[in-house]
């Protein structure tokens, strides 16, 4: 897909960015949703409160295998929707959802994060050659060592418009659910401050799983994220 | 359907009520079941029981029977079974999917946790004491309210299940629609069918129809039939052209994962403005250029190449070793030929034995979950 515009990396199997406009029936940028959001016909549960739709894009699917990434345009475009929530002057939660627009006959596979062994949690509820349901919880830093803010410029613009601050350190609870035909990939980015734990990219080392194991407090927060994931996975 | 329909007991919470006339599809417990052309009346609705298997806490099995009337008599029945509560580890397969005496059996996929199969079998449901689920007690009299029905009907059945849910749907068709009269079960054995062109054609038509209907059945199982797909009826089996060997199908496969449906979905994305026309071209080319799904022929081709390459290596080593010992090319050739002959025969018998062993192991582990079906006699069920 060399002719496609705006390629951008997103961790996992489904990555990339393709410029396009959303159909009238889809989520529109700026709309406010709560409870659930529908993306490419899949209903995705949201944490409590109102969420603003920041972006609606279509991205090409990419297959990550043995460290090599291959574009798979034959899987059709993937709908990608980003939402965010402001609580007490902070972007408390940002949600990224990706789901297929065109069904496939042979399954979609898991996401690399679900197979990692260096995270707080990576739990495969079930996994076969054709279906998967898994959850992972991981830290994500912004900055020189952590890369770009997961929400990109749209999140920064939204925060500016809402006069809200954006953390440079997130805890991410991600879920992948796929059957033989369809897939949905959800990443709940949570500002640790909204859990009552101040955190920043500068202090990201304190959130390394090995460090966490020695500290009873942050793991409890992490567990809360894990519990959130467990609650979500059955309905996502 | 006439007013003579006897209404069976039903669940008030059920979305579809007895007496409802359905076209295109019917939805039961969030699963959509595609229907052949015509008006189909819900003639019975209730619950069913398991006769084999134990998938876990499944709550109740919802059972419904629909009938279609043509020329004053019922010419088709659709028997549906779905679970109410999801289970955790799959539902297993149906005994009819494993039958070796069925008229046709197609396993679209089968794993320990999900499966999808089609089977074509004769069903003796036209007799006065034909067994069936409780709901059948209300439908059986309808078959006999006019002239005596054909004793043995043709059934195309589907079993589709995933880790959580199951749909078992059986389309029972009066053979008279295929121009066939009263025949016995033995007349519908594989051997008998192979000797009678009219029966052979009917079975092939029903099998071809099953292949067409498979896509919508699987889509409906996932609740994914939307818009036109949910409203469109399946063709009647006797209207489906029989596929001749070596020729391409006259009709594209149905279902949302078929190539034509995926291309149509891509077109709709462009029309709705979801993707740009330039991107559409790239996606279109990728879908059109995508290789077809692998077939058993692909597997055997690969297996053949593997056997040839290994045997080339083995024969070379055998010959070299024989030559090192004998320093005689002729004797080395004889020794190599003898080894090849004995090993080849031994390999064939070894493969056969292991295939048989593996098949027996797989059958022993395979979970069969069956309900009470119309016209199927089982021990303890009448």
> Is B275 in contact with A179 (Cβ distance < 8 A)?
no
Beta B370-371 vs B50-52: how paired, if at all? Answer: antiparallel
Chain B nearest-CA distance from A100, in A, is 12
Alpha carbon B219 to its chain centroid, in Å, reads: 14
Task: Determine the structural domain holding residue B79 and report its residue range.
Answer: 21-245
The number of folded domains in chain B is: 3
- What integer pLDDT is reported at residue A184 of this predicted model? 97
Per mean pLDDT, which range of A5-9, A100-104, A197-201, B322-326 is the poorest?
A: A5-9
| 3-class DSSP state of B361 | helix
Q: Is the pLDDT of residue B382 over 60?
A: no
Assign B126 a pLDDT band (cuts: 50, 70, 90). very high
The residues facing B45 across adjacent strands are B64
Question: Does residue B165 belong to the interface with chain A, where contact is any CB pair within 8 Å?
Answer: no
CA angle A62, A67, A69 (to 5 degrees): 20
- What integer pLDDT is reported at residue A94 of this predicted model? 96
Tokens representing B208 are 């071809």
The residues facing A32 across adjacent strands are A52
Q: Which residue has the tokens 């007013």?
A: B3
Across the range B354-378, mean pLDDT stands at 83
Please check whether residues B272 and B305 belong to one and the same domain.
no
Q: Is the pLDDT of residue A73 over 50?
A: yes
B61 burial type by CB count under 10 A (0-12 exposed, 13-18 middle, 19+ buried):
buried
Tell me the C-alpha distance between B116 and A2, whole Å. 38
B252 located within any domain: no
Domain boundary assignment for chain A: 32-233
Nearest to B111 by CA among A129, A230, A235: A129
A80 burial type by CB count under 10 A (0-12 exposed, 13-18 middle, 19+ buried):
buried
Tens of pLDDT, residue by residue over B331-356, are 999 999 999 889 888 988 898 899 88
Per mean pLDDT, which range of A194-198, A220-224, B82-86, B268-272 is the poorest?
A: A220-224
B198 located within any domain: yes
What kind of fold does domain A32-233 have according to CATH? Chorismate lyase (3.40.1410)
| 3-class DSSP state of B352 | helix
> Is B274 in contact with A181 (Cβ distance < 8 A)?
no
Question: Does residue B362 belong to the interface with chain A, where contact is any CB pair within 8 Å?
Answer: no
> Is A22 in contact with B274 (Cβ distance < 8 A)?
yes
- What integer pLDDT is reported at residue A147 of this predicted model? 60
State the number of CA atoms in the 13 A half-sphere of B195 facing the CB. 6
Nearest to A229 by CA among A175, A170, A169: A175
ipTM of the complex: 0.74
Tens of pLDDT, residue by residue over A112-155, are 899 998 888 899 999 888 899 999 999 988 764 556 678 788 99
Question: Does residue B272 belong to the interface with chain A, where contact is any CB pair within 8 Å?
Answer: yes
- What integer pLDDT is reported at residue A175 of this predicted model? 96
- What integer pLDDT is reported at residue B48 of this predicted model? 95
Please check whether residues B174 and B72 belong to one and the same domain.
yes
B374 located within any domain: no
Please check whether residues B336 and B231 belong to one and the same domain.
no
Per mean pLDDT, which range of A90-99, A117-126, B132-141 is the poorest?
A: A117-126
DSSP assigned state of A89: T
Q: State the best of B112, B265, B269, B277 to mutate against chain A, taking most chain A CBs within 10 Å.
A: B269
Q: Is the pLDDT of residue B2 over 70?
A: no
pTM equals 0.79
> Is A126 in contact with B113 (Cβ distance < 8 A)?
yes
| 3-class DSSP state of A114 | helix
Work out how many CB contacts closer than 8 A connect A with B. 94
> Is B111 in contact with A179 (Cβ distance < 8 A)?
no
Q: Which chain A residues are Cβ-neighbours of B162 within 8 angstroms?
A: 131, 179
Chain B nearest-CA distance from A223, in A, is 24
Query: What is each CA distance from A111 to A163, A174, A190, B321, in whole angstroms?
Result: 34, 10, 20, 51
Handedness of CA A160, A163, A169, A172 (dihedral sign): negative
Please check whether residues B108 and B223 belong to one and the same domain.
yes
Mean per-residue pLDDT of chain B: 87
Minimum CA–CA partner of B272 in chain A: A23
Question: Does residue B176 belong to the interface with chain A, where contact is any CB pair within 8 Å?
Answer: no
User: Of B272, B283, B289, which is closest to A23 when you measure between CB atoms?
Assistant: B272
Of B216, B245, B274, the residue at which a domain comes to its end is B245
- What integer pLDDT is reported at residue B247 of this predicted model? 60
Q: Is the pLDDT of residue A233 over 50?
A: no
Per mean pLDDT, which range of B20-24, B204-208, B274-278 is the poorest?
A: B274-278
Alpha carbon B88 to its chain centroid, in Å, reads: 23
Q: State the best of B165, B230, B286, B295 to mutate against chain A, taking most chain A CBs within 10 Å.
A: B286
Top pLDDT among B303 and A146 is at B303
Chain B nearest-CA distance from A48, in A, is 27
Q: Is the pLDDT of residue B5 over 60?
A: no
State the number of CA atoms in the 13 A half-sphere of A136 facing the CB. 23
Please check whether residues B199 and B313 belong to one and the same domain.
no
Question: Does residue B266 belong to the interface with chain A, where contact is any CB pair within 8 Å?
Answer: yes
Tens of pLDDT, residue by residue over A4-39, are 333 333 333 333 322 333 333 457 899 999 999 999
- Kind plus residue range of the DSSP H or E element containing B102: none
For B:313-352, CB contacts with A below 8 A are none
Q: State the best of A77, A130, A182, A183 to mutate against chain B, taking most chain B CBs within 10 Å.
A: A77
DSSP assigned state of B93: B
User: Of B114, B162, B283, which is closest to A77 when you measure between CB atoms?
Assistant: B283
Please check whether residues B97 and B134 belong to one and the same domain.
yes
Q: Is the pLDDT of residue B237 over 80?
A: yes
Phi, psi dihedral angles at B189 (to 5 degrees): -70, 160
**In chain B, where does DSSP find H-type helix?**
95-98, 136-143, 190-195, 197-221, 228-231, 259-271, 277-289, 296-326, 329-365
**Most confident listed range (A32-46, B269-283, B362-376):** A32-46
- What integer pLDDT is reported at residue B15 of this predicted model? 61
Contact B73, B19 (CB under 8 A): no
Residues with Cβ within 8 Å of residue B120, at least 6 apart in sequence: B102, B103, B104, B105, B154, B155, B156, B157, B203, B206, B207, B210
- What integer pLDDT is reported at residue A214 of this predicted model? 77
> Is B257 in contact with A126 (Cβ distance < 8 A)?
no
Chain B nearest-CA distance from A49, in A, is 28
């Amino acid at each position: 897909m060399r002719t496609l515009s705006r390629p951008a990396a997103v961790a996992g199997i489904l990555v990339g960015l393709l410029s396009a406009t959303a159909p009238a029936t889809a989520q529109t940028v700026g709309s406010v949703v709560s409870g659930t959001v529908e993306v490419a016909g899949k209903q995705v549960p949201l944490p409590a409160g109102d969420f603003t739709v920041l972006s609606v894009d279509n991205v090409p699917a990419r297959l990550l295998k043995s460290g090599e990434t291959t574009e798979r345009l034959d899987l059709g475009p993937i709908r990608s929707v980003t939402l965010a929530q402001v609580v007490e002057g902070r972007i408390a939660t940002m949600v990224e959802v990706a789901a297929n627009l065109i069904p496939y006959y042979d399954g979609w596979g898991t996401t690399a994060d679900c197979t990692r062994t260096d995270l707080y949690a990576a739990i495969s509820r079930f996994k076969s050659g054709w279906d998967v349901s898994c959850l992972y919880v991981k830290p994500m830093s912004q900055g020189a060592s952590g890369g770009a803010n997961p929400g990109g410029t749209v999140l920064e613009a939204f925060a500016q418009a809402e006069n809200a601050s954006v953390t440079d350190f997130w805890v991410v609870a991600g879920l992948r659910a796929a059957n033989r035909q369809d897939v949905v990939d959800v990443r709940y980015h949570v500002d640790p401050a909204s859990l009552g734990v101040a955190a920043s990219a500068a202090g990201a080392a304190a959130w390394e799983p090995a460090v966490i194991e020695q500290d009873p407090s942050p793991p409890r927060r992490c567990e809360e994220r894990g519990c959130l994931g467990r609650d979500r996975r059955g309905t996502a | 359907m006439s007013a003579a329909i006897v209404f069976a007991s039903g669940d008030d919470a059920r979305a579809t009520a007895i007496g409802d006339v359905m076209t295109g599809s019917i939805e039961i417990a969030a699963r959509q079941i595609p229907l052949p052309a015509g008006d189909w009346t819900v003639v019975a609705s209730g619950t069913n029981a398991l006769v084999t298997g134990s998938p876990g806490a499944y709550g109740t099995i919802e059972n419904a029977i629909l009938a279609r009337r043509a020329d004053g008599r019922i010419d088709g029945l659709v028997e549906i079974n779905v679970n109410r509560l999801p289970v955790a580890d799959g539902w297993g397969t149906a005994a009819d999917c494993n039958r070796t005496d069925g008229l046709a059996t197609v396993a679209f996929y089968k794993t320990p946790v999900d499966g999808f199969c089609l089977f074509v079998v004769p069903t003796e449901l036209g007799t006065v004491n034909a067994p069936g689920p409780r709901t059948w007690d209300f439908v059986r009299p309808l078959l006999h309210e006019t002239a005596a029905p054909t004793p043995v009907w043709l059934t195309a059945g589907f079993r589709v299940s995933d880790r959580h849910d199951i749909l078992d749907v059986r389309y029972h068709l009066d053979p008279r629609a295929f121009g066939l009269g009263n025949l016995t079960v033995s007349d519908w054995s594989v051997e008998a069918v192979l000797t009678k062109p009219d029966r052979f054609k009917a079975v092939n038509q029903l099998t071809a129809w099953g292949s067409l209907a498979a896509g919508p059945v699987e889509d409906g199982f996932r609740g994914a039939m939307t818009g036109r797909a949910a409203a469109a009826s399946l063709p009647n089996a006797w209207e489906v052209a029989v596929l001749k060997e070596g020729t391409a199908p006259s009709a594209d496969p149905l279902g949302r994962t078929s190539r034509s449906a995926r291309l149509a979905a891509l077109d709709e994305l462009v029309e709705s403005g979801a993707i740009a026309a330039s991107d559409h071209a790239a996606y279109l080319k990728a879908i059109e250029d995508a290789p077809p799904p692998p077939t058993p022929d692909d597997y055997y081709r690969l297996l053949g190449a593997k056997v040839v390459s290994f045997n080339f290596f083995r024969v070379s080593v055998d010959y070299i070793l024989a030559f090192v010992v004998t320093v005689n090319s002729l004797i080395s050739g004889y020794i190599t030929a003898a080894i090849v002959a004995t090993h080849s025969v031994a390999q064939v018998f070894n493969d056969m034995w292991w295939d048989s062993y593996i098949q027996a192991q797989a059958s022993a582990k395979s979970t069969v979950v069956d309900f009470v079906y119309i016209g199927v006699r089982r021990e303890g069920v009448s």
